[in-house]
Amino acid sequence: MSRLPDLIVTAIALAATLIALAPLNLARRRSAVAARMFALIAGLAALLAARLLAWSGSAVAAIPLLLVASWLPLLALLVAEQLVRRHAPRWMKLLVLAGGTGFTIVSLIAGALWPAPVLLALAGFQTVAILCAVGLIVRSRGEVSPAEAQLGGVFAAALLLAIPLTASDFQAIFTLPVRGGAFAALLLVLATSRYLAGTASLRTLLIDLILLAAAGVILAAGAHAIWPAANVAELVQIGAIGAATAALALLLQRRGEARLILQARPSLVKLIAALPDRPRLDDLLSVHPLPASGRLVEADMLAAYPAEAVDMLAAERVSTRASGDAVRDLLDAYAGTHLVRLARSPLRLLAVSGGGLAGDGLTAELDMVSRVAEAS
């Protein structure tokens, strides 16, 4: 069976990962989630590049290929940790670290000559590690904001779909017309491509999958009409190239959208600095899309909470889900990621949703909003 379709699909997937890295590179300076996603997508790009080199006949490229494959599960687990804002259990991290270390040693010793049982063990390790990352996300959904839970759900779904696709890469175990590992990379990139816009959802991921399937079917049907003698395997290969090309087109479109989003969100601190001394609250909140879309929480809305919880809310300029049960409850009610204190007596808060930009940098900017609001 020709390797050319695999080479084409892998090259397309490599181009897609490189396209996805650019906006994530800009966003990772202000978002820890974006930083870890950048590392994961960069790892996928390294894996795809090493695969192309290995298939070109370079025996040396097989070693970095297996090395990256051994550590990608750890990068996926680190993304899952950041999405749910909690550390994975110690046993889970030890398992993934032990697997990565063990297969690294094997790859350095055996080089490209991995026997089938070792390849099967690597496939099993990747599957278990991915299931651990998915389990961490699912178990922690109630501890993050609805927006963060939605993004985590999309990432978990992409990881689950990636399991059978990645397993098909092991040709010593499975023999298919096209390897699925490149599609697993495309799926993960597509799942996170709406991250910066804050529009990632299971529905949009499903729409993407339908579009890819439709593109593959249309191209395969067209090829069958032109070339009736083509067998099923050849039509599957043609359809796979069509689906991968459609994924690349979607990524190109979203790269432009992500660039516009990043450019349309100037520094909140710079915009506040341009305001006159002691600005009105309305002017302060309308200076940037983030506070402008926030929801005010007045003192009378906190009557149902214990006095101790209200005192805790009043003590912090910017509160996040890590600040306590009362904050988590309010953030769930107002679909926010941060509570900003606008006034202390009577207590007045602003619930804002940072979406893909939620991180330490955003917290510092919102702290400035609090200071200016209380000084006005």
Residues in contact with 266: Cβ distance below 8 Å, sequence separation at least 6, in sequence order:
288
Measured on CA atoms in the order 165, 170, 174, 180, is the torsion positive or negative? positive
The pLDDT tens digits of the residues spanning 166-184 come to 877 766 566 778 888 899 9
pTM above 0.75, yes or no: no
pLDDT of residue 253: 80
Q: What is the DSSP string of 105-161?
A: HHHHHHTT---HHHHHHHHHHHHHHHHHHHHHHHHTGGGS-HHHHHHHHHHHHHHHH
d(CA 105, CA 318): 46
pLDDT of residue 174: 63
pLDDT of residue 219: 92
pLDDT of residue 96: 94
Give the largest CA-CA distance in the chain: 80
pLDDT of residue 149: 76
d(CA 129, CA 103): 13
pLDDT of residue 65: 83
In the chain, % helix, strand, coil (3-state, to 5) comes to: 70, 5, 25
- The answer to whether the bond into 228 is cis (omega within 30° of 0) is no
pLDDT of residue 128: 94
Q: Phi then psi for 344, rounded to 5 degrees?
A: -95, -35
pLDDT of residue 317: 86
pLDDT of residue 29: 67
CB atoms within 10 A of CB 209: 18
- The DSSP code for 321 is G
Which segments of the chain have a pLDDT < 70? 1-2, 29-31, 57-60, 111-113, 142, 144-148, 170-174, 196-199, 256-278, 283, 286-290, 335, 354-361, 376
